[in-house]
Structure 1
Amino acid sequence: MRLGLLTACLPGEPLEDIARWAGGHGYAALEIAAWPDRPGRDWEASHLDVESFGKDDAARVSAMLDRHGLSVSAVAYYENNLHADLEVREATHEHLRRCVDAAQLLGVGLVGTFVGRDVTLTVAENLRLAERVLPPLVEYAAARDVRLVIENCPMEGWHPDGYPANLAYSPELWGRLAELGLWLNYDPSHLVWLGIDPLAALEAHADRILHVQAKDVEVQAAARDRYGVFGRVLDRRPWESGWWRYRIPGLGEVDWRRLIDALHQHGYDGVVSVEHEDPVWSGSPERVRQGLTIAQRTLDPHVNV
């Protein structure tokens, strides 16, 4: 097992600067963000230009990572593959295919994404949509020795009322997604605020986990008593529930000692990739790196045993 980080937390930093820092601060792998470089969306990281990525680019990136003692755990592009707008959906699929192409050139076997949801349809209708839309993407990846790993984030901010907008939010649906050829990028933080025991979910689905994201969550039970599990309704703001927030591993509710021990017991030998979305340790690249240092100190004793 190795410790890595998702580069999306440093969207304005060059990939080599991130690699230099990560290699010098106890990290062994990068989950490289590869969103399209779109004007006005500075929060999206484009550390791989997959639209024009070729063999020379792959050789350059691989050599650079080797210099810093790093590998690539996955190419990361978390978007809504079931978007209600057909043009947006197809553009998302096209970019996902370019991420798969880049992963193949880099010799990386995983691309991380979301299933998503058409928020104009019911969950049952979305499952039928997924059965039609997703297999061609899985097949495209498989033909290039790449597998798609799906993060189990609810993506409640995509839904106008804060309901789950990513079909992979619930372990009940993981088996259905597995039938479509999708694998898990397991993130325990989402399960905690949904009231799901992350250890029980891991035990039941360990054979589908090919990648792990390490993010924690802080729960304020008194605020939940006021707002309910779906969060604030009046004066609602996307991505702010009013009763929970994401934190750096070790600063929230997840028992990382037991969780990583369970991964060891099930033979997981991949990467545990820190996904930094902690508002306390954000605001500047320096603060983000301080948060990543806290995460490394928390996780490394359990990962590298």
Structure 2
Amino acid sequence: MVDLAFSTNAYTEYDLSEAVRRIADHGYAGVELLGDEPHAYFPGFGDADREALLEALSETGLAVSNVNANTAMGYYDDAPPSAFFEPSVIRADDEAREWRIDYTKRAIDLAETVDAPAVCLATGRPLPGTLPENAHDYLRESLHEILDYAEPRDIDVGIEFEPELLVENTEEVLALIDDIGRESLGVNLDVGHAAVYGEDVAESIRRSAGSITGVHLEDIVGGRRGKHYHRIPGEGDLDFRAIFDALEDVGYDGFVTLELYTYPDEPDRAAREAAAALESYV
């Protein structure tokens, strides 16, 4: 049986410790930590921030499901609109790529501190001038360096695929995992991303059996080839019975994390209604 967690990336109007406490108020067993502004942007996340977070976790009894290091918007003083995944681990610029590798290592440090099982990482998009085959070379090199750091700390790294990124579907992430050939690399499976790519979500889960480091959950309007907009479960077309049945079939017993960053103005409502909608599945 899985447990529910909720990501702090819906609570960007609150500091990290307050976000943790608010999520606990809605009955969740776990919390995912946003590894970015305004929560744990690692160049500015100091000892006092870490102690405040540990105090909130101790006070609430919440487990940490994952450290979400997909984005690093704090890198920019004035971020352009599509900068979410930059600088990425597939950048041709050596300095920018190394910055992102080190950033991911800091996410691993936080995961170790809070006893989280994994961090998640998105590949980013191949930018103009970087051929996809060259981006794959950078990705492999980056992942081996990251995994060399993660493995002694017993932290898994989950690649989160997303349409339009270098790794954008189940087939590609599983091929990457096979290519890298290290047990600590898996998939942080966002069911909505599978749906908007046009995949059968339950089949994506079954194909990923044994490689799932974590699950992101949200609803999507339109199901297959729907628009990529995260909605509260019940407000879209995903079949959550089929999703949870598939997770049970593959023996997944970790956290399923609601990722509803699309509700920054009403995160408490999103957390409350999502928990109620999924109560019968967990």
Report TM bin, short chain.
0.7 to 0.9
From 102, 105, 117, the counterpart of 1:97: 105
Structure 1, residues 129-181: CA drift from partner, whole Å, max 9, x if none? 32223211111111221111111222xxxxxxxxx1231x1222122321323
Partner of 1:8: 9
1:137 aligns with 2:140: no
| Residues 1:66 and 1:220: Cα distance change in structure 2 (over 3 Å) | closer
Deviation at 1:62, TM superposition (A): 2.9
Q: 1:8-40 CA deviation, whole Å, 9 max, x = no partner? A: 1212302222222211212111110121xxxxx
**Cross-structure match for 1:165:** 165
Q: Which of 94, 103, 114 is residue 106 of structure 1 equivalent to?
A: 114
State the partner residue of 2:74.
none
Task: Select the residue among 193, 202, 218 that pairs with 1:199.
Answer: 202
Contact 1:249 1:299 in 2 (8 A): yes
CA offset digits 1:80-136 (Å, max 9, x no partner): 221344333222112111111122222222111112233233433332332223211
Equivalent residue pairs, number:
260
Aligned partners of 2:122 and 2:160 also within 8 Å: yes
TM-score, normalization by structure 1: 0.77
Aligned match of 1:64 in 48, 56, 70?
Answer: 56
CA contact (8 A) 1:34 1:99 kept: yes
Letter in 2 for 1:184: V
Matches within 5 A, 1:22-171: 22-35=23-36, 45-48=37-40, 50-51=42-43, 58=50, 60-78=52-70, 79=85, 80-120=88-128, 121-154=130-163, 164-167=164-167, 169-171=168-170
Question: Does 1:188 find its partner at 2:191?
Answer: yes
Contact 1:247 1:277 in 2 (8 A): no
CA distance in 2, matches of 1:93, 1:193: 28
Q: Give the 3 Å change call, closer, same or farther, for CA 151–76 of structure 1 in structure 2.
A: same
Partners of 1:117 and 1:138 in 2: how far apart?
21
Q: Given the alignment of the two structures, is residue 174 of structure 1 paired with residue 173 of structure 2, yes or no? A: yes
Rg larger for: 1
Structure 1 residue runs of 5 or longer lacking an equivalent are: 36-44, 155-163, 222-228, 230-240
Aligned-pair CA distance for 1:210: 1.6
1:292 aligns with 2:276: no
Residues 196-242 of structure 1, C-alpha deviations (whole Å, 9 max, x = no match): 11111111112101201112211299xxxxxxx6xxxxxxxxxxx9x
Instruction: Pick closer, same or farther for the CA change 1:245–1:19 going to 2, 3 Å.
Output: closer
Q: Secondary structure at the match of 1:207?
A: coil
| Alignment partners' CA distance in 2, 1:21 and 1:54 | 22
CA contact (8 A) 2:230 2:259 kept: no
Return the alpha-carbon distance in structure 1 between the equivalents of residues 109 and 223 of structure 2: 43
Cα distance in 2 for residues equivalent to 1:265 and 1:216: 21
CA distance in 2, matches of 1:146, 1:91: 20
> 1: CA distance between counterparts of 2:102 and 2:142?
13
Select between 105-114 and 182-191 the one with higher mean Cα deviation: 105-114
* 1:30 and 1:73 in contact (8 A); partners too: yes
| Alignment RMSD | 2.4
Listed as ranges, the gaps of 5+ residues in structure 2 are 71-84
CA distance in 2, matches of 1:109, 1:48: 17
Cα offset, 1:261, TM superposition: 1.9
- Confirm or deny: 8 A CA contact 1:81 1:117 kept in the other structure: no
